[in-house]
Structure formats: structure tokens, C-alpha cells
């Protein structure tokens, strides 16, 4: 059974203090690993898809990396507006048909000015 574990559960940073969020996964065959951002009172917003070990994606202060067992979301010099819950999800490589996304419970990030 596919599983996703995110750590830490919550993270508090000062503005400008860089850090990383972790997403560990077990999956029978990885089709893709996804990062979403969720603000309070809103639905998740897509950030990145990573498909193979060694791949990296960047968007502003965020950089996602992927290995065969985990993904990291690196946040460089964060700002208060980066405060949100970050969700990781994996999708198995389907033999046929639909293969659902399996989500982690997320990391709540709070960036203080």
C-alpha cells in the first residue's frame, strides 16, 4: 500500500531563515510526486510535480527535490506570505486506468516577520 509521511508536522521560522520540509514515501512504482500549498480556508494549490530521482523544480523561494525514497521542499529566505500548509502526494504507476493520489498529512509552516 502506498504511504506518505511528512515531517515535521509544524515548523516555525523567522523571516529569512531557510529550512527544508521532508516527504518520505513508499510506493510500488512511482508515477509522480506532487507538492501542494494550502492556505487557511482554501483548497490546496498545485506547486510542483517530480517524476524521477534526481529531478529538481524551482518556483520563487521554493525548490523541490526527489530521491528514490523521499522528497524535500527547500524554502530559501522565507517571507511571512510563505506561511501555509504544504502537502505532499504520490501517484503510483498504474497498470491500467486511474491511480489515485495518496496524500500526506502536511507540514504547517509559520514564518514570522
Partner 1 sequence: ETGVTQTPRHLVMGMTNKKSLKCEQHLGHNAMYWYKQSAKKPLELMFVYNFKEQTENNSVPSRFSPECPNSSHLFLHLHTLQPEDSALYLCASSQDRVGEKLFFGSGTQLSVL
* 3 state DSSP class of 67: coil
Of 19-27, 62-70, 74-82, 92-100, the window that binds partner 1 (rule: CB under 8 A) is 92-100
DSSP assigned state of 75: E
Comparing CB distances to partner 1, the nearer of 1 and 113 is 1
Comparing CB distances to partner 1, the nearer of 16 and 29 is 29
Contact with partner 1 (CB under 8 A) among 1, 42, 60, 68: 42
Q: Are 96 and 41 in contact (CB under 8 A)?
A: no
Distance CA 101, CA 97 (A): 13
Comparing CB distances to partner 1, the nearer of 2 and 76 is 2
Nearby residues of 68 by Cβ (< 8 Å), 6 or more positions away: 53
Applying CB under 8 A, does 102 fall inside the site for partner 1?
yes
Applying CB under 8 A, does 40 fall inside the site for partner 1?
no
Amino acid at each position: 500500500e502506498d504511504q506518505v509521511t511528512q515531517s515535521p508536522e509544524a515548523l516555525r521560522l523567522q523571516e529569512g531563515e531557510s529550512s527544508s520540509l521532508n516527504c518520505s514515501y513508499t510506493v510500488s512504482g512511482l508515477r509522480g510526486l506532487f507538492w501542494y500549498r494550502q492556505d487557511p480556508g482554501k483548497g490546496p494549490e498545485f506547486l510542483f510535480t517530480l517524476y524521477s530521482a534526481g529531478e529538481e523544480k524551482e518556483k520563487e523561494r521554493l525548490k523541490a527535490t526527489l530521491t528514490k525514497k523521499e522528497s524535500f521542499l527547500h524554502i530559501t529566505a522565507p517571507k511571512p506570505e510563505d506561511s501555509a500548509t504544504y502537502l505532499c502526494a504520490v501517484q503510483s504507476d498504474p497498470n491500467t486506468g486511474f491511480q489515485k493520489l495518496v496524500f500526506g498529512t502536511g507540514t504547517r509552516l509559520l514564518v514570522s516577520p
